[in-house]
A and B are shown apart, each in its own frame.
Chain A
């Protein structure tokens, strides 16, 4: 663009940059630093010790929490992706533009409303004498335990990420060139083959990115596994909270946090490669 205009960008660039450096990047780096510090007399002491790492990584409770969190988050990613795909297809391909925009707006709104209250509300649906089991009773089905199970956690995770995942999928699918789908149908590909040979391959980036979002949200969430999943076995987030709140063991919690961040970064890299890698 204009080559000789506006060289002075610092007044605008610095405030947000400094803010995020000071209050986002530094706290995260500080977590890394304190994972090598020690606690004495309930106070944080600068140190350079591997004690915390050793303590956490050598405990089987940590690794079982890690495995549990991973499996739950992966389950949440798969379930959410599968649950939102039909709706996203429907929104992307069969409704007029205006309806789609309205629907997307309805999807965005819950994203900004209290997740806590929604989870609390799910308790009323899922408890042993809750709404769902009451409906089952009407239909003559025996009551099922749902609250304080992994199923409960999954419901929470889906509540958390379904709007976002549907949004991402719908926007991705809506960008697929409609003529490709029509071409497939002209070539006598049935709906199922069109779905698997055209829509899914072309919509893959949005499917993978959506699943990644669901994974990240579930991996870090502590509300659903605590209040719908029963809190046992703990997830990594539960572990951080317990270690921080009751034990005042911030360095050990920091170890868990760093392992979580590394896991998320690695997962994201794999997902991005999966989404965009094999094209071109």
Chain B
């Protein structure tokens, strides 16, 4: 009975993963399918859709724009996320939980609302419709991910590490630079990669604020609003591969599954 339940559980879990991965795999398969319409049976192999993707100037421009946004977004949200995570880790101050709430809340606000808010606010200060508007919005959305990842790493830091640094004549600023940042290095890299992926995939807010400056996912959205096009599968596969690569690298750097390493010392008695 119990063994049956266990096997059922595993089979069900496998099925769940199939559900999660099915659209990703289907997109990959259809991107090479000769038929315009995504249907079974498959009609033959073709690379036409990729050719169409990489020769479409709109798509190329969108890719360039996406990169131009993703890299500054990743840098800025990692820096700001580090500041926020360190403040949460190190300081005790009034309104700290409010501060953390303000930092972590954005992903829970529906993207459409964020988009509308950003659009009306940024057009009031004359930034809407520019690529900078996408950048600003994406930092707001990506900062919480950066903060959470770096905060997790800081939680693994032995309190004595900073004290030891002060004790060896390093000022708080020097300690931050020579001890805290090196300690968090891997999570900073991970945060950079994952926030880049967040920005690279974000379409709703970007759609609202980007005006004519479409990023890749906005281009996909525009395609989606039009007629069925297998080009979406080709772009999708390219986008998927790059985001999965970014996230997988990020996870590897953040040391998910690695043993906790605090300061290098014996375990305190």
- Check B251 against A30 for contact (C-beta < 8 Å): no
Q: A113-B244, A121-B233, A125-B23 are in contact. Are A24 and B106 (CB under 8 A)?
A: yes
Is B187 close to A, CB under 8 A?
A: no
Which residues 128-144 in B have Cβ within 8 Å of A in the complex?
136-137, 139-140, 143
Partner of B220, one of A114, A219, A250: A114
- Check A9 against B247 for contact (C-beta < 8 Å): no
Residues of A within 8 A of B113 (CB): 28, 31, 220, 240, 257, 260-261
Partner of B117, one of A30, A101, A124: A30
Partner of B87, one of A13, A28, A134, A244: A13
CB distance from A198 to the nearest CB of B (A): 15
Interface code B105-128, partner A: CB below 8 Å = 1, 0 otherwise? 110111111101111111010000
Is A254 close to B, CB under 8 A?
A: yes
- Check A116 against B217 for contact (C-beta < 8 Å): yes
Is A44 close to B, CB under 8 A?
A: yes
- Check B102 against A116 for contact (C-beta < 8 Å): no
Is A94 close to B, CB under 8 A?
A: yes
Is B159 close to A, CB under 8 A?
A: yes
Q: A27-B121, A44-B124 are in contact. List 7 more A-B contacts (CB 8 A).
A: A16-B80, A23-B118, A24-B105, A27-B114, A112-B243, A114-B243, A244-B208
CB distance from B244 to the nearest CB of A (A): 6
Q: How far is the CA of A120 from the CA of B109 in the complex (A)?
A: 24
Residues of A within 8 A of B13 (CB): 86-87, 90-91, 103
Residues of B within 8 A of A94 (CB): 6, 9-10
Mark A residues whose CB is within 8 Å of B: 1-2, 5-6, 8-9, 12-13, 15-17, 19-21, 23-28, 30-31, 34, 44, 83-84, 86-87, 89-91, 94-95, 98, 101-110, 112-125, 127, 129-131, 134, 158-159, 162-163, 166, 191, 216, 219-223, 227, 237, 240-241, 244, 250, 253-254, 257, 260-261, 264
Is B34 close to A, CB under 8 A?
A: no
CB distance from B56 to the nearest CB of A (A): 16
Partner of B39, one of A20, A116, A124: A124
Q: A130-B39, A216-B110 are in contact. Are A17 and B99 (CB under 8 A)?
A: yes
Closest 4 CB pairs of A and B: A220-B110, A90-B9, A117-B236, A124-B38
Q: How far is the CA of A119 from the CA of B203 in the complex (A)?
A: 13
Q: State the majority secondary structure of interface residues on A.
A: helix
- Check A110 against B159 for contact (C-beta < 8 Å): no
Q: Which residue of A lies closest to B1 (CB)?
A: A191
Partner of A105, one of B6, B143, B221, B251: B251
Residue tally, chain B, CB below 8 Å to A: 89
The 26 listed contacts between A and B (C-beta, < 8 Å) are A1-B159, A9-B87, A15-B80, A16-B147, A17-B99, A27-B114, A27-B120, A90-B9, A113-B201, A115-B203, A116-B217, A117-B236, A117-B240, A119-B224, A120-B224, A120-B232, A121-B24, A124-B30, A134-B39, A166-B16, A220-B111, A223-B204, A254-B116, A257-B112, A257-B116, A260-B110
